[in-house]
Every structure is written in C-alpha cells, then in structure tokens.
Amino acid sequence: MEEKKGKIYIFDTTLRDGEQAPGIHLNTREKLEIAKQLEKLNVDVIEAGFPISSKSDFNSVREISKEIRNRKIAALARANFKDIDAAGEALKEAEQPVIHTFISSSDIHLKYQLKKSREEVLELAGEAVKRSRNYTDVVEFSAMDATRSDWAYLCRLYEIAIKNGATIINVPDTVGYALPDEFGEMIDYIFENTEGIENVVVSVHCHNDLGLAVANSLAAIKHGARQVECAVNGIGERAGNAALEEIVMIIDTRKNRLGMYTDINTKEIIRTSSIVRSLTGYIVAPNKAIVGKNAFSHEAGIHQDGMLKDRSTYEIIRPEDIGLKSSKLVLGKHSGRHAFVGKLNELGIHLSEENLEKAFERFKDLAEKKGAINDEDIKAIAEDEIREVTEHFLLKYYRIQSGSDINAEATVGIEINGKLHESSSTGNGPVDASFKAIDKIVNINTRLIEYNIEAVSGGKDALGSVKVVVSTNGVEVMGSGISTDIVEASIKAYVDAMNRIVENKE
C-alpha cells in the first residue's frame, strides 16, 4: 500500500465483523449489493468475509472478488494453513487481494483460548504470514486482544510478522478496553520498539464496548496509524465497531486541525447507511451521529431561530455533503414563533396578525398532544383560522363516558357572553351525545345534514378534520373543527356551525 501524506485509509469490515453481529444473516446477493455500494462510497479496502467459516462466506468473498475490480478485497483467516488456503482460494479472482490473518496475543487469550505459549504463537504468526504471501503481496497481520497484551511481547510478535512479509500491522482493541490516551501511548510504543515498523502501514480496529471505538481510532491516527478498520452504522460484534461515517466526517470536518483526509465520497454516506440498515435489519438510533434521522433536525425554538438566520449557527456539517437534501426544522412543542411563521411562508400561507397569534397558540396546543407537527397539520390549523367567525359560543370543556356495554353520555361546557353553561345528554355514540348536549345549551333548532371525517395526516396520532353541515329555517351552514381527538374535532365543528348560524342572523 503506497502511503500518501496525510491520507487515512478506510478498511471497511461491514461485511465481515459487521455481519457477525447477532441476528444478521446476509446472503451472497445481499453482500454483493452492499459491496457495490461500498465501492461507490470509495472505501479503500472491503473485508468481504471469513471464507473458512461457512460455504456462504466463501462464496460471498469469491463473488465480490469477481465483481469489484478497483478496490482491495480482504478475506479473514486465522493463523493456520487451512484458513489461509481457503482465503487464498476465495480471493483467487480478485484484482487486488488482501489476506488478513490473525492470532491472539494477550496472556488471557493464550492461556484460556489458544492454550499455547508465547513462543508457540510467535512461530505460528510467522508461518501464517509466510503462507499468506504465497497468494498475495498484501498481507495484514492482526494481534487479537492487543490492548490487553504485554506491549514488549506485542512488538516481538509484530516484528516476526513484518520479517515474514506482512505489509500491514493491525492493532485491535478487540474487547473495547482501551482509553484514548492509553491507546495513543501504545501506538507510540509500537512505533518506537518494533523493528521494520517504518516499512508497513499501521492499522487499528476498535470495538465499542465502552463507547470509545471512534475516540480510540482518532487517538491512534493522531499517533501515526494510517488505516482505520470500521463498519457502516457502527455494526459489529457485541456493541459494534467504530462507525465509518463518524470517523470519516470527523476527519473531513476537522481537517484543518487534524491535517488528514480520506478518499471517501461523503455524498454516498446516507445511501450506504440506508442500504446496510435495510439489508441487516439493524435499526439506526434516531440520535445516532451523522446518519440518525435526528442528526440534522432542529426543534428547539432558539436553535430554529438561529438556523433560519444562518444554519452554521447550529450545524457543523452541511447535510448535502453526506447525501441529504437539507436540514429539517421539526415543528413541535419546543418550536418558537419564528419557525412557525417561517413554515407558513414556506407553504405560501399569510395570516393577519390576530389570526397568526391564534394559529400559533393552536399549534402549540396541538404540539403538546401530538409531538412533531407536519405540513398538513399546519395547513389545517391556518385554514381553520382563515375561516373567521365571531365566537358567540366558546367551547370550554367536554367529558365523555362511552363503551360497548353502556349508553354514551357527554357533558359539554360552553361560555356565552362570559357565563359558563353546562349540559349533559345521552346518545347513539359520543358524537351524537355531544351534539345533543350542545343543542340544549345554544337552544337553536337545527338538523344535521352532513358529517364528514378526514385524516389530515398519517399515523395513529393523525390530526383529524371534521366538517358538518347543519340546517336551520331552510338555511344551511358549514362548521369545521380539527383535533387529534375525533370527538373533540366533531364538537368544535358543531360549535363552529352554531356560531355561523348566529352570525348569519345578525
């Protein structure tokens, strides 16, 4: 691997370590689809699988090797000839094959897992690298559980690997144990105490058991590592790997400070994340950095106000740079008046100052009930306010009692000329009972001609719009009401119709 000054090589292990996460089972076609997207993303190395582990993994590595010609394709192998030969065979048609061979280096692994001495492991490592060189000139050697290993012994192990032909030395934090400053010191120690280290690329592979995979990876590259092994969406064994998108965008966003770069096509990040999420079935947390659905969404009023003035006030990455169309100002209970007015302007809705204040209050009330408010909700609120009518009858409250084994009963409180009037009634369902209670209060002889319900938006918390047409003395008027509660929307629509009847009389 020809090293470029300041370049950080991205070794993607989504298809190998990522696919080892519990519950993920990708077939060859699915792995190939992800590999093609990783090619578009422009990663430097695609670790396509662990050929000896299953027939499916072997076939996946072989098919990806045939299809992806302009990327290095890596296959994993333990430090034994059977694994290495399987990897070499699977990579036979690869344009740029990489065999990634590994063996444990920590005393705890040697004692309980390998049951071998340090000297035996040194010999196995050397033979494994030598065997790998029969298949390719690019061999990566990993010392598993490096961060819990004796540093002096680790350097001896790496020296053996380099002498036998390893071109990349990988330092894995296999169980996510290291702290960033500790990991940086370890990388320094390896550079200072490993003969031949200046002739190879130093790579790191960090796990996220303590939530430090990305921080440890960054610490390592600041201390001289030039390749980072990571996975899309941070998937992988246990708590996962360092997240590719986070590593890449930290380097890109802070390049003036870090003095480094990657060749990643960042505009493909969202697309890649989406494909991996879809095919693996692993959900991305809404607050996940870079690719979470809330990463470029703003609801707080102060933040929205700043974003409307200049988005750099609260965004350090341009959403377009990772493949999103734009940021989102999510209208909710924390949103301020500026954001609400901005959304109305965007929708081409213009209200009088009085109606604007009313609409804003209704928006805040709805947001308390519903959470996020969409464009259709805003339109419904604004259009309802545009239909101005004097509130002779002002709904103050309602109470409903209803069920499959009881008659529906409604109690409604309405204010008339500053005085509260309450009435109760039973009916054929809560809407009918409510309308009858209202009739008692307003004392207007009417007949219901039409009753219409429409969902303004989707979802279980959709805003419902109710329109009623009532007739009195041969004159028909329409009333409308909106709410997340259909009974409340119905009551509002009926009271609105009553107000219009009085207005027509005047």
Give per-residue pLDDT as tens, 204-241.
999 999 999 999 999 999 999 999 999 999 999 999 99
Query: Where are the strands (E) in 50-90, listed by range?
Result: 72-78
The pLDDT of residue 303 is above 60:
no
CA angle centred on 418, ends 417 and 423, rounded to 5°: 85
CB atoms within 10 A of CB 441: 20
Beta bridge partners of 189: none
Q: What tens digit of pLDDT does each residue of 341-352 get?
A: 776 776 667 777
Predicted pLDDT at 442: 93
Domains of the chain by start residue, with CATH: 9-280 (3.20.20.70), 297-385 (no CATH), 393-505 (3.30.160.270)
How many residues does the structure list for the chain? 506
Q: How far apart are CA 292 and CA 232, in angstroms?
A: 12
What average pLDDT does the segment 394-420 reach?
94
pLDDT: which is higher, 143 or 497: 143
The pLDDT of residue 299 is above 50:
no
Beta bridge partners of 102: 78, 142
Name the one residue in this structure whose structure tokens are 């940086």: 184
Q: How far apart are CA 324 and CA 214, in angstroms?
A: 23
Average pLDDT taken over every residue of the chain:
87
Q: Which residues, other chains included, contact 107 with Cβ-Cβ below 8 Å and sequence gap of 6+?
A: 118, 149, 150
Q: What is the reported pTM?
A: 0.71
The pLDDT of residue 412 is above 50:
yes
Helix (H, G, I), strand (E, B) or coil at 427: strand
Q: How far apart are CA 502 and CA 506, in angstroms?
A: 6
The pLDDT of residue 308 is above 50:
no
Q: What tens digit of pLDDT does each residue of 316-325 get?
A: 687 787 886 6
What average pLDDT does the segment 179-198 reach?
98
Q: Which amino acid is at 278?
A: S
Name the one residue in this structure whose structure tokens are 């960090």: 206
- Tokens for 380? 């419904």
Quickly list H helices, 320-454: 337-346, 353-370, 375-386, 430-442
Q: Which residues, other chains included, contact 315 with Cβ-Cβ below 8 Å and sequence gap of 6+?
A: 296, 307, 327
Q: How far apart are CA 302 and CA 283, in angstroms?
A: 30
Strand order in 475-483's β-sheet?
447-455, 464-472, 475-483
Name the one residue in this structure whose structure tokens are 């333990």: 78
Cα distances (angstroms) measured from residue 150 to each of 16, 145, 157, 204, 335: 27, 10, 11, 17, 54
> Which stretch of 211-220, 368-377, 421-430, 448-457 has the lowest confidence by average pLDDT?
368-377
